[in-house]
Amino acid sequence: MRKKVTVVGAGNVGATAAQRIHELGYADVVLVDIVQDLPQGKALDMLESGPVIGSDALITGSNGYEETANSDLVIITAGIARRPGMSRDDLLLTNMKIIGSVTAEVVKYSPDCLIMVVSNPLDAMCHHAYEVSGFPKNRVFGMAGVLDTARFRTFIAQELDVSVEDVQAYVLGGHGDDMVPLVRYTTAGGIPITELMPQEAVDRLVTRARQGGGEIVALLKAGSAYYAPSAAIAQMTEAILLDKKRILPCCVYLEGQYGIDGLCMGVPVKLGGGGVEEVIEITLTPEEQAMLDRSAASVRELVDVMRKNQDGDAKAG
């Protein structure tokens, strides 16, 4: 029997991710959205691509959660996307309400699933989904680091005029502007990039990677990136469904690792059939630790805002 993957949110990121997963061919997909007929229409269109691309996987759309029952993996992309001039943090409270209600439905119908959070601001949304789900920490994680490293790897490969396949990057911390690149572990063909380009170039590429999401938003004008994000989602999905145990940077709930306690942050993990099977820890230099601590502080600020808002909601209710 094929595995079952639910994608919540049939917008740019969700629909493109659903398409990529359907095209892999080894998982049935349910696409969910609140907009009437939208997920049904997109799913039927993708299903009808099956004979051409050679995928026998099923893909269906729904406005409810019954059809999602017993999913192995649920990917949450619902929410509003960033508009020009809007920071990820502006999205906080709107997306928090959406992610909270979606997570509660998901858990009701798929109590044993893994949850991959994609909606922004990513680290805070992952934290919220983790708390609302009540799942163990290996079963709730966020997609951010694979995208951030993909952007960084693209720019490094361009700069060095080498294959993207030979460039590996290592990042920690919050998504995007807050990412902490570990340049000494970022390599081309196994060689640290600091050996291959001047510091000025390293700094320039780090800055561009950190602002990579904003660069796309400014160009698209309406909406944010979705081709690279959906590719990152598909890679993580494959690592899980095929139990590949890949080492990928993911956002996970930390309990003391890297000196961070009780917060979801991006770290390298072993990702396989059990979700986050291990957090991989290395010793940081004082400078790297300071950058990571700053990143953690800004995620914690968002989590505190969410907490105050929940308390407010509880009092008002």
Q: Which residues are catalytically annotated? A: 175
Rounded Cα distance, 90 and 309, in Å: 14
Minimum Å distance from CB 90 to ligand APR? 11
User: Beta strand pairing status for 246-255 and 261-272?
Assistant: antiparallel
CB of 39 to ligand APR, least distance (A): 8
Binders in 59-88 for ligand APR, by CB under 6 A: 77-79, 81-82
Q: Which of the stretches 12-20, 155-163, 268-276, 278-286 binds ligand APR when contact is defined by CB under 6 A?
A: 12-20
Alpha carbon 299 to its chain's center: 15
Candidates 11, 145, 174, 214: give the one binding ligand APR (CB under 6 A). Answer: 11
Query: Residue from 35, 93, 164, 297 that binds ligand APR (CB under 6 A)?
Result: 35
CB of residue 149 vs ligand APR: minimum separation in angstroms? 16
Q: Which is nearer to ligand APR, 79 or 272 (CB)?
A: 79
Site for ligand APR in 95-114 (CB under 6 A): 95, 98, 101-102
Residue (of 55, 56, 2, 58) closest to 31 by Cα position: 58
Number of chain residues interacting with ligand APR (CB under 6 A):
27
Q: Is the dihedral of CA 300, 302, 303, 308 positive or negative?
A: positive
Amino acid identity for residue 226 in this structure? Y
User: Smallest distance from the beta carbon of 63 to ligand APR, in angstroms?
Assistant: 8
The answer to whether residue 176 forms part of the interface with ligand APR (CB under 6 A) is no
Kindly state whether residue 8 participates in binding ligand APR, applying the rule CB under 6 A: yes
Closest to ligand APR by CB, 8 or 114: 8
Give residues 106-165 in contact with ligand APR (rule: CB under 6 A): 118-120
Q: Considering beta carbons, is residue 68 or 186 the nearer one to ligand APR?
A: 68
From residue 206 to residue 235, the character string flagging contacts with ligand APR as x (rule: CB under 6 A) and all else as - is -----------------xx-x--x------
* Selected binder of ligand APR within 34, 86, 162, 242 (CB under 6 A): 34
10 makes contact with ligand APR (CB under 6 A): yes
Which residues form the interface with ligand APR (CB under 6 A)? Answer: 8-14, 32-35, 77-79, 81-82, 95, 98, 101-102, 118-120, 223-224, 226, 229
